[in-house]
């Protein structure tokens, strides 16, 4: 029975550890956060994700999985810690990845395999990770194996995608790749593709950059459509009928810990980036653009009160990391607007501003600004909301509300891209 030590019990590390544990491996999951370790050992999930709780219970009950604060000897080490964004320098902050790698050096033995799942800039495994591991006195390829298997599952559907998506494996050499492939074959139903370690690093960043640029294009289309008097949502829907066109949706900006930062990891050491940096600029500019729409709509009011519907970075999740809502709120406050927040997915205390009940957020408000396309927002009690508000206005940046219904309740509506 092979033993796997997974470093990092976050959004990727925990599900990965549990999938290994429920598919034939002995797994110890390591996290520096004692509260996480304690929770997980008591079968309490530290964050919401579909199916995660059942998997945790199954893994702990089978005695194939336990959590610990420190790494230990194992056959395989999987590093799955965050790579934050160093905003000031617009590059990857490798400190967690480095610390996690350092923490396994003294446990590294001949024939061990080390897998990095964390997202890193091209070349990081060869230039940064491997030299740290060689501090053990062992030599990569001769004594131990290294592979990069970047995680690519989408938050909100993580377990399904971890199992069903195709998987990229970039080994330091063919034996590293083969050994990593054998491991992931235990639970991955999608195809597993083997490539070089640097290519695997680049693929991951290219995927998220592609999505960022596609969204930037949609955002630019939205602004042009407004000038041209066209409804961009209808136009995109119809353009996407073309067999080779797939335009994403405009919105108030790109949030989350991946799409908004990975393009910078790709370009941090390159002199060739043009379109990638421009797309970042366009998407980062969207909260400002939305602010101008809202300001224009409220120009007749002295000190308007604005209610934000949705501060999660995307639909149907409670995650607010890098949410464009924060920039919008800061701009609105600077403008002298009173801001209140409602988000059915985000618990109060999990965001920089208080998250209120819907009634508390809308009473005496002048305008609702929809920033996240949560499913709930499709059908809301528009008459009741209108009755509680001071003036009936709504700005929809996601084209996700029932416009007819709101109009019937007497609301003035502005839609991004129309
Ligand atoms: N967004 C739009 N318009 C769209 C789609 C998304 O404005 O048409 C916005 C969302 O509202 C959100 C942001 O973009 O603010 C990012 O959301 P997302 O759903 O596109 O992506 P993430 O960040 O949740 O997950 C991405 C995924 N990458 C790709 O789809 C290429 C996921 O597969 C990766 O595993 C994840 O990044 C990651 O961890 O890298």
Q: For residue 37, what pLDDT band results from cuts at 50, 70 and 90?
A: very high
369-412: pLDDT as tens digits? 999 999 999 999 999 999 999 999 999 999 999 999 999 999 99
For residue 14, the number of C-alpha atoms closer than 13 Å in the C-beta half-sphere is 29
Q: pLDDT value at position 129?
A: 98
Domain 3-197 class, CATH top level:
alpha beta
Residue 236 zone, left/alpha/beta (φ > 0; ψ -120 to 50; rest): alpha
pTM for the model stands at 0.95
Q: Which residue has the tokens 């617009």?
A: 90
Q: Is 267 in the pocket of ligand 1 (CB under 6 A)?
A: no
| CATH fold group of domain 230-418 | Rossmann fold (3.40.50)
Assigned token pair, 59: 């893994």
In this structure, the residue with its CA closest to atom 25 of ligand 1 is 154
Domain boundaries, the chain: 3-197, 230-418
Q: pLDDT value at position 156?
A: 85
What is the rounded average pLDDT of the residues 98-112?
98
Contact 353, 377 (CB under 8 A): no
Q: pLDDT value at position 1?
A: 65
Q: Is 155 in the pocket of ligand 1 (CB under 6 A)?
A: yes
Residue 417: which of 240, 286, 275 has the closest Cα? Answer: 286
Task: Give me the active site residues, please.
Answer: 204, 258
263-313: pLDDT as tens digits? 999 999 999 999 999 999 999 999 999 999 999 999 999 999 999 999 999
Best mutation site among 117, 256, 286 for ligand 1, i.e. most ligand atoms within 8 A of its Cβ? 256
Q: Which residue has the tokens 């995307």?
A: 314
Cα→Cα distances 283→255, 317, 322, Å: 9, 20, 12
What is the rounded average pLDDT of the residues 3-18?
97
- SS3 (DSSP) at 166: coil
Assigned token pair, 187: 């639970």
Pairing of strands 167-171, 145-148: antiparallel
Q: How far apart are CA 328 and CA 253, in angstroms?
A: 10
**How many angstroms is it from 185 CA to the middle of ligand 1?**
26
Residues pairing with 116 in the sheet: 79, 148
234-263: pLDDT as tens digits? 999 999 999 999 999 999 999 998 999 999
For residue 256, give the ligand 1 atom closest to its CA.
23
Q: Is 152 in the pocket of ligand 1 (CB under 6 A)?
A: yes
304-335: pLDDT as tens digits? 999 999 999 999 999 999 999 999 999 999 99
- Residue 372 DSSP label: S
Assigned token pair, 135: 């501090």
Q: Give yes or no for residue 345 having a pLDDT over 80.
A: yes
For residue 328, the number of C-alpha atoms closer than 13 Å in the C-beta half-sphere is 36
Q: In CATH terms, are 3-197 and 230-418 the same topology?
A: yes
Q: Is 251 in the pocket of ligand 1 (CB under 6 A)?
A: yes
Q: How far apart are CA 35 and CA 45, in angstroms?
A: 11
Pairing of strands 355-356, 338-342: parallel
* The total number of residues written for the chain in this structure: 418
């Amino acid at each position: 029975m092979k033993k796997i030590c997974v470093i990092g019990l976050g959004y990727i590390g925990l599900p990965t550890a549990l999938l290994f544990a429920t598919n034939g491996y002995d797994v110890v999951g390591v996290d520096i956060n004692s509260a996480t370790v304690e929770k997980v050992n008591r079968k309490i999930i530290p964050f919401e994700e579909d199916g995660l709780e059942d998997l945790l219970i199954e893994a702990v009950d089978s005695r194939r999985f336990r959590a610990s604060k420190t790494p230990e000897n194992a056959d395989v080490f999987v590093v799955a810690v965050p790579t934050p964004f160093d905003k000031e320098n617009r590059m990857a902050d490798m400190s967690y990845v480095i610390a996690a790698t350092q923490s396994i050096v003294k446990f590294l033995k001949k024939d061990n395999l080390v897998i990095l799942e964390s997202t890193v800039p091209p070349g990081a495994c060869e230039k940064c990770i491997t030299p740290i591991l060689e501090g053990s006195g062992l030599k990569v390829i001769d004594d131990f194996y290294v592979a990069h298997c970047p995680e690519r599952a989408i938050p909100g559907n993580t377990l399904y995608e971890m199992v069903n998506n195709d998987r990229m494996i970039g080994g330091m050499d063919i034996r590293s790749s083969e050994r990593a492939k054998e491991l992931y074959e235990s639970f991955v139903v999608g195809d597993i593709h083997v490539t070089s370690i640097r290519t695997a690093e680049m693929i991951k960043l290219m995927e998220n950059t592609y999505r960022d640029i596609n969204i930037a294009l949609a955002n630019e289309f939205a602004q042009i459509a407004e000038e041209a008097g066209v409804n961009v949502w209808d136009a995109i829907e119809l353009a996407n009928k073309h067999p080779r066109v797939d335009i994403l949706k405009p919105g108030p900006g790109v949030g989350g810990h991946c799409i908004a930062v990975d393009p910078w990891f790709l370009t941090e050491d390159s002199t060739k980036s043009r379109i990638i940096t421009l797309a970042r600029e366009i998407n980062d500019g969207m909260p400002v653009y939305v602010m101008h729409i809202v300001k224009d709509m409220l120009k007749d009011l002295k000190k308007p009160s604005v209610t934000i519907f949705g501060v999660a970075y995307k639909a149907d999740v409670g995650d607010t990391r890098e949410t464009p809502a924060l920039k919008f709120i800061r701009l609105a406050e600077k403008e002298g607007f009173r801001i209140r927040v409602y988000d059915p997915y985000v618990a109060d205390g999990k965001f920089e501003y208080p998250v209120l009940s819907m009634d508390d957020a809308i009473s005496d408000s002048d305008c609702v600004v929809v920033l996240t396309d949560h499913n709930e927002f499709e059908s809301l009690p528009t008459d009741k909301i209108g009755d509680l508000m001071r003036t009936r206005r709504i700005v929809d940046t996601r084209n996700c509300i029932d416009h007819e219904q709101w109009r019937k309740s007497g609301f003035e509506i502005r839609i991004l891209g129309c």
